[in-house]
Amino acid sequence: MQDKVIIITGSSIGIGRAMARIMGQRGAKIVLNARNAERLNATYQQLLSEGLSVTAIAGDVSKMEDCQKIIDHAIATFGKIDALVNNAGISMEGTVEDLSPEVFKKVMDVNYLGSVFPTKCAIPHLRKTKGSIIFISSAAGIRGIPKFSVYSSSKMALTALAESLQIELEKDNIHTGIAYVGFTENDPQKTIYDANGKVIPQPNRNLVKTEPPEAVAKRVMNMIENRTQKSVFTPLGKLNAFMNRFAPFIVKKVLSNNYHKD
């Protein structure tokens, strides 16, 4: 990580902030990004006070022009880009029938296009450093989850994107990896969309064992260092991936029983 320039989208809270701190402590130069400028500045000031080499630029990754500004800012500040971590994302809750059409678009814009656009802008610079692109997916990107259909769809789309780029960028020696993150401890500031498109606090995950953001951050850092192409986090996530491949009917049964128990 020493002197590597790493852009982390969605890095004002949660996993993104944890990645920024841990990679920065290992000597990386971090470019922070988030839509909420006030929250982003608070994280920037905190990491700066800890002696880390950081810069910050607010921007909406679902907008191509903002993504180009993020990349340009990284180059103007640090002169190169060694890794892009596409971490920005938003979730939702509601059945397909009940969801507002706006929710479908908002979630896909942030979770999918919000990874496509920064990647597209960063590729010419990553080609020079033979750098890395990391996509933060989810266990929901392995198997569709009822009431989280759009979120699952957006995370599954990242798999196709990563697999395509692994071949397209092979000759450029650009590493492309995708991380299937499991249940992670909630950040108090984390929000999701309800069925009507209203922003609400993310519900607590009291029924499942969650992983600290710092543990997730270390796993992602290891993916960059080892140039890992695919990694499923947590034992539950690995079990989900295994069962979905070899016994999908069991996974469907478990999800169905849980969904219909109410």
- Tell me the one-letter amino acid at 53: S
Query: d(Cα 99, Cα 91) in Å, to the nearest integer?
Result: 13
Residue whose C-alpha is closest to residue 238's, from 219, 256, 253? 219
**What residues pair up with 54 in beta bridges, in sequence order?**
30
Residue 37 burial (CB < 10 Å; 0-12/13-18/19+)? middle
Taking residue 116's Cβ as centre, other Cβ atoms within 10 Å add up to 19
Nearest Cα to 221, choosing from 12, 45, 16? 16
So which residues are the catalytic ones?
151
Both ends of the chain: CA-CA distance in Å?
48
Q: In what order do the strands lie in the sheet with 175-181?
A: 54-58, 29-34, 5-8, 83-86, 132-138, 175-181, 230-232
Phi first, then psi: give them for residue 83, nearest 5 degrees: -155, 145
Alpha helices in the chain (DSSP H): 14-25, 37-49, 64-78, 101-108, 114-129, 149-168, 213-226, 235-246, 248-260
